[in-house]
Amino acid sequence: MVCEIFNSAVKVAIEEPNGTKLLQVRSWDLLPANLFTRSVLSLVYETYLEIERDHGSILNLKPDAILQKLRERTLAPQTARQCVDFLKGIDWSPTQLPLRRWLKSIRDFYYARS
């Protein structure tokens, strides 16, 4: 199980009969691009849900606060910044499916890099 993503490294938990071992490895050696992207998208989506629950709307937070929330969920600073930067181009009117567009922007960025 992927526990943390930090820059080009990930922390992976491996469950064995005698306990759980944690390994830190370079993400590109271990994770294919689609799994890395899925991990980032999951963290962003979970953060979005938490913000919606605690603050009513993601629009109630400034980008730096969203960045901090993403980093608290162990997203690497550079990756978190990139995800927050994608917010700038999103129309947050309900009819435009803003969350879907944000996640699609992030997904497209990471797939293009692979």
What is the pLDDT averaged over residues 30-42? 74
Give the model's pLDDT for residue 67.
Answer: 95
In this model, does residue 8 exceed pLDDT 90?
no
Percent of the chain with pLDDT over 70: 76
Give the model's pLDDT for residue 76.
Answer: 83
Question: Domain range holding 70?
Answer: 31-113
Q: Which residue, 28, 30, 33, is CA-closest to 1?
A: 30
- Count of domains observed in the chain: 1
Largest CA distance in the chain: 52
pTM recorded for the entire structure? 0.68
Encode pLDDT of 38-57 as tens digits.
888 888 999 999 999 999 98
Position 6 in a domain = no
Instruction: Compute the mean pLDDT over every residue in the chain, rounded to the nearest whole number.
Output: 81
Position 61 in a domain = yes
Position 83 in a domain = yes
24 and 11 Cβ atoms separated by less than 8 Å:
yes
Position 73 in a domain = yes
Position 63 in a domain = yes
Q: Residue 7: which residues within 8 A CB-CB, separation 6 or more? A: 76, 77, 78, 79
Instruction: Name the phi and psi angles at 105, rounded to 5.
Output: -60, -45
Give the model's pLDDT for residue 26.
Answer: 65
In this model, does residue 97 exceed pLDDT 70?
yes
Q: Which residue, 70, 90, 87, is CA-closest to 79?
A: 70
- Sequence length of the chain is 114
CA distance 15 to 36: 20
In this model, does residue 29 exceed pLDDT 60?
no
Give the model's pLDDT for residue 25.
Answer: 67
Position 20 in a domain = no
Position 26 in a domain = no
Position 18 in a domain = no
Query: What sign results for the dihedral spanned by CA atoms 25, 63, 108, 78?
Result: negative
